Chain A
């Protein structure tokens, strides 16, 4: 029998890198826990429904003011797109460094007979998915609702989807370009630090931009009906006609009204230029950047032994958990991807406090009720901190976790050490926010005390939830802590934290309402000595202890079962 070799003229098709990645994604989805997807699906559905209803109601309300009112919506849309795309620019720079330079598969792909530009086009696409997928999904339901509200023609829908992709693809292209340039010009071995510094500057600009909107002035003017129309007229004009998100907003708005969206053309050109530029430059600069990264391994050698400092000596007196806390503190302070999370958090808390102080509320009862309800928003801020610090606490052990797993330390010691390491941050921020906002709003003694108690409870429970759920579903292969929170467990954590903040308010609603609405009947702390007050405080105590303990216990039990 003779075997005929395959014809040499029959050439195999070029392999598709996207198909390869999609297949890997499909395998990941198939193997991941189904409950996680069910949870995320439910949360996403709730979010979409809420967004659609909220957008429809806002348009209906503003529509009552005619064109001026609807133009206000267009302006708010523009501001929203500017804010979101600024955020994407920040995260795209760090995401691009991870995908363009630090991906595990780069060494494999670049040694295959594939064009380098194809590899980096894939990497830029991955950067887009990492940095912009969530904002795209957040924006799309809103825009499609706008299209439906204005009875937009069918062709407008794909145009609006394209506009959404473009408005976030442009900052991704910019972020990728910045990352490539940073790899070229940043001091050797300091690329991540420089990119973090850049991120902090962008975040500060974002804080400034939000403050520049001066929401308190808006509230002041809205209290005077004679000024409302003038305010709306002032507010309706475009804010930044030269900014790409403004082009997108105008394009989207025109498309929704059935007009061909001309401002999308410059946006399309800009985005394509940025993405192509980033891809080509990354392909060209990769080799140089890689060589520079290798150069960074030249250390300044000093053979003199450096011994433990005071903090390490003090913490290690607490045993193995203390030793772990000392190690974590050191690693956090040295890793810009970890300490930079603190800066974002402080910025968020700062904006919140300044805004609370600036809102003028003349009626004392209304001030008291608002002062009480805003404690739930504080819970949201604490959850925002915890999703960056507490939830990734176990996952940041990364692939070095084997060292702990094979050492004589119990999972409960690991989880408790992480909890006690993050708690001082959340507790301090929570108490400062709670007490400062209570003082700024001039709340009565009962609400002042309740603010402190709810802040403490929120800090304890939300930190425990974060550490516990993070330990139950750790992600040891993430590039940075921000990535860890964007997971089914992270979203479940945010949802549960918000639910707990609301539960706290409900438990103490009776005594709070009594002290605000009937100060004559409940002077001083007397609202807390009533049956409802005592039961509320008891309920808060039980909920705090129980949820904290259950969260931590779930965390260490699941961590113990982890393989």
Chain B
């Protein structure tokens, strides 16, 4: 459903993402993990048609996002990390507009259902400019889910959400995938990733540190159950980062030894 192949993104001399490849199958929740500046958002922006890859291809539902953009975009819903929406529209008007763009059948009843789900019915006729950050984020989530897309692409989904809504959203992602659809999300919240994701890619400064299911990553890093953190994703994440730093240090030492010799 999502195929990223040899994706590279450069800004001038700076390489934000280096040769990234992964595939996300239907029925899976896939997580892109990493610290700030790891390249998560850059990858997501290429997938949703906001940033053109320097090289490589990104495909959604079999369509190249940059060669066949309309078909690819009709196949995914996107939730950005910062939900900038038209402040002069009400939530209902904005969602109707989204329904018209994606040609959603029975949009009005679907909108009513989603507003009720997120407890926004009372605010549905109010201008979005009067909403709190969390309410806007909920509207952005509804906008992405309204067309019932086969692929859901999410950038930092829990920012600004109250605990109740955060749990609702986690459950939504899980049930979306369980219906045979695909969910790709970026987060630096390790508990969220651990709770929802079937497979993960850990990125650091544009490079892949590790990829696979939790079991794969455990096996690779040698982290085992038990202890304070047990075999948590946090432990795996920091082990991957330490390995990367260690490799870098060894490489520098080898280089230095070569120079001295």
Q: List A residues at the B interface (Cβ < 8 Å).
A: 296-297, 299, 301-308, 312, 316, 320, 323-324, 326-327, 330-331, 334-335, 398-400, 402-410, 561, 563
Contact = CB atoms under 8 A, between A and B. Distances in A.
B73 A303 contact: no
A308 B90 CA distance: 12
A303 B143 contact: no
Contacts of B156: none
Interface in B45-83: 48-52, 69-71, 73-74, 76, 78, 80, 82
B52 to A, nearest CB: 6
B88 A335 contact: yes
A522 B213 CA distance: 86
A403 B48 contact: no
Contact of B90 (A306, A402, A405): A306
A312 B82 CA distance: 28
Given A323-B101, A406-B48, 16 more contacts: A304-B125, A305-B111, A306-B124, A308-B96, A316-B100, A327-B97, A330-B93, A399-B82, A400-B84, A402-B80, A403-B98, A407-B98, A407-B101, A408-B73, A408-B74, A561-B52
B101 A400 contact: no
Contact of B50 (A302, A399, A406): A406
Contacts of B111: 305
A409 B101 contact: yes
A301 B122 contact: yes
Contact of B49 (A301, A305, A405): A405
Given A301-B123, A405-B49, A330 B98 contact: no
Nearest to B109: A305
A398 B86 CA distance: 9
A400 B86 contact: yes
Contacts of A335: 88
Nearest to A331: B88
Nearest to A404: B101
Pick the 3 closest A-B CB pairs, nearest first: A323-B100, A399-B84, A408-B74
Interface in B118-169: 121-127, 130, 143
B50 A334 contact: no
B71 A408 contact: yes
Contacts of B48: 405-406
Nearest to B120: A303
A305 B89 contact: no
Nearest to B71: A408
A381 to B, nearest CB: 28
A402 B84 contact: yes
B251 interface: no
A563 B85 contact: no
Contacts of A301: 122-123, 126
B112 interface: yes
A465 B90 CA distance: 32
A302 B125 contact: yes
24 contacts: A296-B130, A299-B123, A301-B122, A301-B123, A305-B108, A305-B112, A305-B124, A306-B92, A306-B124, A308-B96, A312-B96, A316-B100, A323-B101, A330-B88, A330-B93, A331-B89, A402-B50, A406-B48, A406-B78, A407-B102, A408-B70, A410-B69, A561-B52, A563-B51
B63 to A, nearest CB: 11
B73 A403 contact: no
B50 A323 contact: no
A306 B127 CA distance: 13
A204 B127 CA distance: 31
A406 B125 contact: no
Given A306-B92, A307-B108, A331-B86, A406 B122 contact: no
Nearest to B75: A408
A302 B123 CA distance: 7
Nearest to B100: A323
Contacts of A403: 85-86, 98, 143
Interface in B230-260: none
Most chain A beta-carbon contacts within 10 A, residue among B49, B71, B127: B49
B101 to A, nearest CB: 5
B50 A303 contact: no
B73 A407 contact: yes
Given A299-B123, A301-B123, A405-B49, A410 B88 contact: no
B74 A334 contact: no
B101 A305 contact: no
Contacts of B97: 323-324, 326-327
A327 B126 contact: no
A331 B127 CA distance: 11
Nearest to B108: A307
A302 B92 CA distance: 12
A305 B92 contact: yes
Contacts of A398: 84
Nearest to A307: B108
Nearest to B131: A297
Contacts of B85: 400, 403
Contacts of A404: 101
Contacts of B98: 403, 407
A302 B93 CA distance: 15
A400 B136 CA distance: 12
Contacts of B96: 308, 312
A78 B235 CA distance: 76
Nearest to A316: B100
Contacts of B123: 299, 301
B199 to A, nearest CB: 24
B130 A408 contact: no
A304 B125 CA distance: 8
Contact of B52 (A299, A331, A407, A563): A563
Contacts of A410: 69-70
A404 B102 CA distance: 11
B124 A303 contact: yes
B86 A299 contact: no
A327 B98 CA distance: 10
Contact of A406 (B71, B73, B126): B73
A408 B101 contact: yes
Contacts of B50: 402, 405-406, 563
Contacts of B102: 407-408
B142 to A, nearest CB: 13
Contact of B126 (A299, A307, A402, A563): A299
B130 A299 contact: yes
A308 B84 CA distance: 23
B89 A409 contact: no
The listed residue with most A CB atoms (<10 A of its CB), out of B52, B82, B97, B112, is B97
A302 B91 CA distance: 13
A410 B70 CA distance: 7
Contacts of A330: 88-89, 93
A542 B112 CA distance: 51
Given A297-B130, A320-B100, A409 B121 contact: no
A297 B50 CA distance: 32
Contacts of A299: 123, 126, 130
Given A323-B101, A330-B88, A409 B70 contact: yes
B121 to A, nearest CB: 5
B89 to A, nearest CB: 7
A279 B88 CA distance: 31
A299 B120 CA distance: 13
Nearest to A563: B51
